């Protein structure tokens, strides 16, 4: 019986710590320790055939992280396959170091039924780049009026635990309360896109000095903060979990800090772009900088960095939002909101948080893997880099620098706000349950690393307790 390629990572620094070797075999971290003996490593495997070989990777100087988990990704399929497909978006995710992503519900049709979330989950499994965890809509059609079938989505094969009307705010306080309460039955969480709709009608950018100058309708910080304030109080009242999507203002950080000090079960995310970009980029009216929530001021950027550093903000999530060229190649007001981010997220976090001394690599593992996996109730991801744990591992070269060329990225869209920017840190390799999805910074087509005809015993390359993983392992071999 042949078996999948095993990888021996030589001299890698787990979470930026002391260099050691990691052996990835049979879907798990099989051995950890300095100077692992190759013959020990190879023992127990059939030696005939190249597929049995242990691939050694010189990982000196590289940092090993648990595979990154994105709680906020727009994969656009079904409906807008011209902007992104599940295959292209998850390939981009793997290139960015991710092993799991949460696919937002604002597709066409909306992911508000068990049928749609199962379709998304299945397409993700078939693509094989990362584990795709669909996010279910809170309300039918994202309309904010009637609860979607949250229970059916939770009970489906996709096992949905995160629910969000992202793109729209659950503005009705009664609907929000009901949603918060209802998902307690299956340990779900409501991920709120905090945007008071009346205060943001027609809003184009952050309301402040720059919007006044540019004559673009303002998106005031208070429209975000008012909803977050309301929602943390609702969450406290009903004893539910609340997750705040893409928090962007200094005031929001203060409110979440206050809520946590009261013991309210709130978690919060910030996007990479809100860690570095500011509203004055709108001055050229280039819609690549149009995003919701909008780019804020330098003071807000500093506040979200501080919030991420002190733990007020739990995670970084990309809000990867691919758009077609025609949806960005136009006047600002006509352009779509959103920017790509899967393939720049880790670099931006390194630039803004590591290279500034505000976070360690262990912290990065927490904010980009462990904590999002915990919030999304994703098992098998965000685990320690220890023997027996699933081999979901990302290798990053912190010393590398690269220039962003959107056309060369894995995502199908080119609306990266970092075009032409030099960023630190490069994802060298990504392993999903021991299978390389990225090697030497290049995507490895799923199936290529596994010898055709080989068999994997279901369960051996699989995360215990993950229904999706079982099916994935089986399907992956046949692919």
Question: How far is the CA of 409 from the CAs of 93, 278, 344, 394, 440, in angstroms?
Answer: 10, 24, 10, 18, 15
Using CB under 8 A, which of 43, 47, 174, 215 touches other proteins?
215
Which of the stretches 105-113, 185-193, 200-208, 407-415 binds other proteins when contact is defined by CB under 8 A? 200-208
Site for other proteins in 300-359 (CB under 8 A): 326, 329-334
Q: Scan for tokens 């990504």, then name that residue.
A: 430
Find the shortest distance in angstroms from Cβ 210 to other proteins. Answer: 7
Task: Judge contact between 100 and 69, C-beta under 8 A.
Answer: yes
Find the shortest distance in angstroms from Cβ 373 to other proteins. Answer: 39
The answer to whether 185 contacts other proteins (rule: CB under 8 A) is no
Question: How far is the CA of 211 from the CAs of 218, 280, 331, 332, 417, in angstroms?
Answer: 6, 9, 15, 12, 19
Helix (H, G, I), strand (E, B) or coil at 29: strand
Task: Judge contact between 135 and 93, C-beta under 8 A.
Answer: no
Structure tokens at 328: 């960005």
Give catalytic residues, as residue numbers.
Answer: 319
Task: Judge contact between 193 and 253, C-beta under 8 A.
Answer: no
Of 299 and 334, nearer to other proteins (C-beta) is 334
Find the shortest distance in angstroms from Cβ 407 to other proteins. Answer: 17
Task: Judge contact between 244 and 294, C-beta under 8 A.
Answer: no
Task: Judge contact between 271 and 318, C-beta under 8 A.
Answer: yes
Binding mask 218-247 for other proteins (x = CB under 8 A): x-x---------------------------
Of 324 and 360, nearer to other proteins (C-beta) is 324
State the number of binding residues for other proteins (CB under 8 A).
27
The answer to whether 202 contacts other proteins (rule: CB under 8 A) is yes
Of 199 and 475, nearer to other proteins (C-beta) is 199
Find the shortest distance in angstroms from Cβ 2 to other proteins. Answer: 54
The strand pair at 98-103 and 68-73 is best described as parallel
The strand pair at 315-316 and 393-403 is best described as unpaired
As a whole number of angstroms, the longest Cα–Cα distance in the chain is 70
Of 326 and 355, nearer to other proteins (C-beta) is 326
Cα(97)–Cα(365) distance, rounded to whole angstroms?
11
Binding mask 266-305 for other proteins (x = CB under 8 A): ------------------xxx-------------------
Site for other proteins in 10-39 (CB under 8 A): none
Which of the stretches 14-22, 63-71, 155-163, 208-216 binds other proteins when contact is defined by CB under 8 A? 208-216
Kindly report the CA angle at 257 between 313 and 72, in degrees rounded to 5? 30
Question: How far is the CA of 4 from the CAs of 31, 37, 128, 197, 293, in angstroms?
Answer: 16, 19, 15, 51, 43
Cα(122)–Cα(134) distance, rounded to whole angstroms?
10
Using CB under 8 A, which of 214, 255, 354, 444 touches other proteins?
214
The answer to whether 134 contacts other proteins (rule: CB under 8 A) is no
The answer to whether 250 contacts other proteins (rule: CB under 8 A) is no
Length of the chain: 479
The answer to whether 439 contacts other proteins (rule: CB under 8 A) is no
Using CB under 8 A, which of 58, 145, 187, 213 touches other proteins?
213
Using CB under 8 A, which of 77, 207, 300, 397 touches other proteins?
207
Using CB under 8 A, which of 94, 180, 216, 404 touches other proteins?
216
End-to-end CA distance of the chain: 18
Residues contributing to the site for other proteins (CB under 8 A): 198, 201-202, 204, 207-218, 220, 284-286, 326, 329-334
């Amino acid at each position: 019986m042949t078996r999948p390629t095993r990888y021996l990572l030589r001299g890698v620094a787990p979470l930026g710590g002391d260099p050691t070797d990691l052996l990835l075999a049979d879907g798990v971290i099989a051995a950890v320790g300095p100077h692992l003996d190759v013959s020990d490593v190879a023992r127990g495997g059939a030696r005939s055939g190249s597929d049995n070989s242990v691939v050694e990777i010189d990982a000196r100087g590289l940092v090993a992280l648990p595979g990154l988990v994105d709680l906020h990704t727009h994969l656009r399929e079904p409906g807008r396959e011209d902007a992104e497909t599940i295959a292209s978006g998850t390939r981009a995710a793997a290139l960015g170091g991710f092993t799991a992503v949460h696919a937002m519900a604002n597709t066409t049709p909306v992911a508000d039924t068990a049928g749609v979330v199962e379709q998304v989950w299945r397409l993700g499994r078939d693509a094989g780049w990362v584990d795709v965890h669909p996010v279910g809509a809170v309300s039918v059609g994202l309309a904010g009026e009637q609860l979607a079938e949250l229970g059916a989505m939770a009970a489906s094969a996709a096992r949905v635990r995160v629910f969000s009307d992202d793109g729209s705010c659950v503005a009705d306080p009664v609907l929000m309360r009901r949603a918060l309460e209802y998902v307690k039955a299956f340990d779900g969480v409501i991920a709120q896109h905090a945007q008071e709709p009346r205060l943001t009608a027609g809003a184009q950018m952050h309301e402040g000095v720059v919007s006044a100058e540019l004559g673009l309708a303002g998106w005031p910080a208070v429209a975000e903060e008012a909803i977050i304030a309301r929602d943390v109080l609702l969450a406290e009242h009903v004893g539910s979990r609340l997750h705040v999507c893409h928090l962007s203002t200094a005031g929001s950080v203060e409110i979440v800090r206050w809520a946590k000090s009261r013991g309210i079960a709130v978690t919060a995310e910030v996007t990479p772009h809100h860690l570095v970009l500011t509203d004055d980029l709108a001055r050229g009216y280039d819609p690549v900088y149009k995003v919701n929530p909008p780019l804020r001021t330098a003071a807000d950027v500093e506040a979200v960095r501080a919030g991420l550093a002190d733990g007020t903000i739990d995670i970084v999530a990309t809000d990867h939002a691919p758009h077609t060229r025609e949806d960005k190649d136009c006047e600002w007001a006509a352009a779509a909101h959103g920017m790509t981010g899967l393939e720049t997220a880790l670099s931006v976090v390194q630039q803004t948080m590591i290279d500034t001394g505000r976070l360690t690599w262990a912290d990065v593992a927490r904010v980009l893997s462990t904590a999002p996996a915990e919030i999304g109730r994703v098992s098998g991801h965000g685990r320690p880099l220890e023997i027996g744990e699933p081999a979901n591992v990302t290798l990053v070269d912190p010393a590398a620098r690269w220039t962003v060329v959107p056309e060369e990225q894995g995502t199908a869209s080119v609306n990266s706000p970092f075009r032409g920017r030099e960023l630190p840190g490069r994802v060298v390799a990504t392993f999903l349950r021991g299978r390389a999805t990225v090697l030497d910074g290049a995507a490895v087509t799923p199936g290529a690393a596994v010898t055709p005809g080989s068999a994997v015993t279901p369960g051996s390359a699989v995360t215990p307790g993950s229904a999706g993983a079982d099916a994935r392992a089986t399907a992956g071999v046949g692919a």
